[in-house]
Amino acid sequence: MEILLLLETSPTFLVIATGTLGLIVGSFLNVVIHRLPVMMDRAWTSECREHLGEPIPETGEQAHFNLLTPASRCPQCNHRIGVLENIPVISYLLLRGRCKECGTVISPRYPAVELATALLSIITALHFGYSVETIAALGFTWALVPLFLIDFDHQILPDSITLPLLWAGLFLSLFDVFVDVQSSLIGAMAGYLSLWSIFHLFKLVTGKEGMGYGDFKLLAAIGAWVGWQALPVVILFSSVVGAGIGILLIVLKGRDQSQPMPFGPFLAAAGWLTLLWGNDIIQLYLQ
């Protein structure tokens, strides 16, 4: 009870608690970002082999590869990562960004994800304060982080994250946590159908697919959380940021204009911004 009282009365303690929790969650999200695409690929391969009547190899690693097992190891020397080597950010600094055994460089992205998750968690907690909204918004934030990076890396948005996010938004609307049931339901339907319509119109005109079905589901999930009224803000944010980054990549790095760019990261960023400040943006626009 004393901890709950501190969280309610002390903004400093709230920041420390959510920041620490964000670091721990960020460490787990690194596992999700790395392993979930591999798990999906193996599942798809097994389904294809089963459909074709081909034998499915059942090695030990194949049978027990998930978010919890096997234990994390160095990809170069297969050194098992111990508990003291897995402390968020601190272990990376103590190891100077290298494997303890073979000295292979550890990607700085791992501590970057942990720090980003902690920062986003702190901003979320400070915005909503000590409330049910903070707990829900933290879950929303933590779901968007792996969606952002998995889509950026592999151009896929896993149903195992987007669909629970959609149902969670609809469930919260029963209690008017962020929006009411009607706004949430219409938001989910409008989010999905808006991108679905654009997809088919673009395909009809150009003969090409401009985005994936995962984008439809992600916008439906975001619509369930923020309501249909805020969807124009989400679409505007994601489109403007996506177009701006695409132009920069073409100009500065000579990116091929025909090379596809994932839209999910921009939707995820826009959805998070809208959940926190969407109403303020809408009111500012109306004024």
Among 39-43, 44-48, 249-253, whose mean pLDDT is lowest?
249-253
Strand-pairing partners, residue 80, are 73
The predicted-structure confidence for 1-20, as pLDDT tens digits, reads as follows: 677 777 777 888 899 999 99
pTM score over 0.75: yes
pLDDT at position 131, please?
A: 93
DSSP summary character for residue 179: S
Cis preceding linkage at 70, omega within 30: yes
The predicted-structure confidence for 77-128, as pLDDT tens digits, reads as follows: 888 888 888 889 988 888 888 888 888 898 999 999 999 999 999 999 999 9
Burial class of residue 255 in the structure, from the number of CB atoms within 10 Å of its CB (0-12 exposed, 13-18 middle, 19+ buried) = middle
Mean pLDDT of the chain: 88
H or E segment at 158?
Answer: none
Cis preceding linkage at 11, omega within 30: no
Strand-pairing partners, residue 98, are 105
Residue 62 amino acid letter: Q
Evaluate whether 56 touches 65 at the Cβ level (below 8 Å).
Answer: no
The predicted-structure confidence for 61-81, as pLDDT tens digits, reads as follows: 455 788 888 888 887 788 888
